[in-house]
Structure 1
């Protein structure tokens, strides 16, 4: 079944095309990050999200916020954090004001790997979008993605 299959409703066709575009982009980036840096896309995303934290009130994310940001369950996020901690890319410590809270920070090694991997991620994204733009089913979605301007 393709995104333009007449048996699908217009809404289902759009969803099918979006899912196809996402899958192609994700697999292309995944291969590039694995080959170049030994990172999965989820690992890269987690390092990226956590690197944007800051110290002080409201500066650290709760595990649920991290899970939402990397689109994983809390248990899967905890396992991912543990794997990256074992590799020396993250560290965890207890919150000073709430002993139940655990913060996760990117280590210097993690920040260095993230900085190395970011251009690979960006290049792979550009390549995947350029390739997808050649497909008439995906070209409108690529244009929409390229036109997005998300406020900071």
Structure 2
């Protein structure tokens, strides 16, 4: 069953709007994180993802999926962060083929310093996007998704 042309165009327009919001946010985050902490958005994301793990480590394949990068791009990114002392890699004790990336104390300290910058840039980017009529519904959706779920709801 095919979709009517107007529904196809509406879907395409929805995607273009979402991509525009994403690009605005990522641009703002990139400028702030790079200028204040010498971090790319992807580097920040890797540090953040690892910090949220129970033992602050994760298998490379899982990390690639979590940051939405190819495995080779993730490997290069992890190597750069490791060279800077923010991550360490080690073999899995139970599966010698598995490699874990682990957040170091220096990586945690950098993340702690960068998180307020990230959060402020995100807040500012969303506030600016809210001023554009076509982006308002998406900004409202992002804000609604970020609210804690009501207890018992």
TM, length-normalised to structure 2: 0.87
- The aligned counterpart of 1:3 is none
Corresponding position of 1:132: 129
Q: Distance in 1 between matches of 2:85 and 2:57?
A: 19
Look up the match of 2:118.
121
**Aligned mate of 2:139, from 136, 139, 142:** 142
Give the aligned partner of residue 29 of structure 2: 29
In the alignment, which residue of structure 1 is the partner of 2:3?
Answer: none
Q: How many residues align?
A: 143
Give the secondary structure class of the aligned counterpart of 1:148: helix
Question: 1:110 and 2:125 equivalent?
Answer: no
Distance 1:106 1:129 in 2: 29
Instruction: State the alpha-carbon separation in 2 of the partners of residues 10 and 146 from structure 1.
Output: 23
Partner of 1:14: 14
1:39 paired with 2:39, answer: yes
From 75, 90, 95, the counterpart of 1:93: 90
Which whole-Å deviations, capped at 9, do the CAs of 1:116-146 have from their partners, x for residues lacking one? 0000000000000000000011011101111
Superposition deviation, residue 60 in structure 1 = 4.6
Question: Which one of 54, 58, 74 corresponds to residue 77 of structure 1?
Answer: 74
Closer, same or farther: CA 126–42 of 1 in aligned 2, 3 Å: same
Cα-Cα RMSD:
1.9
In structure 1, list runs of 5 or more residues that go unmatched. Answer: 1-5
- Structure 2 regions of 5+ residues with no counterpart? 1-5
Give CA-to-partner distance per residue, 1:53-97, whole Å, 9 cap, x none: 224xxx853222111111100000000000000000000111111
- CA–CA distance in 2 between the matches of 1:61 and 1:88? 17
